[in-house]
Amino acid sequence: MPIKEFNGLSVEVDEEGFLTDRTVWNKDIAAAIAVEEGIGPLTDRHFDVINFMREAFEKHGTAPSIRQMNKMNIIPTRELYELFPGGPAKKAAKIGGLPKPRGCV
């Protein structure tokens, strides 16, 4: 597995850059991944989505899809795309230290 360095911490990632051990994740790593993904500084609203995804992953063993978040009224789909352009579920999961959601290309 490849190794990446985020803010002085070396972590193992898969071939797409997703953390292989979600327990090493922290907000500093999230901020560094967000920069790599072309997302500006993370806001509280970004962390609302990220924290929801992390909690859902702990409960269900998989990150929720955009459709699931929309159905649960977590965040409007339009805002989700504004916060995480170019693949919101995939990018939010990656920034949140989670595996790539099922169904994401």
Give 32's DSSP letter. Answer: H
Tell me phi and psi for residue 27, to 5 degrees.
Answer: -65, -30
The answer to whether residue 104 is catalytic is yes
DSSP string, 4-61: EEETTEEEEB-TTS-BS-GGG--HHHHHHHHHHTT--S--HHHHHHHHHHHHHHHHHS
Catalytic site residue from 11, 13, 74, 104: 104
Active-site residues, by number, are 104
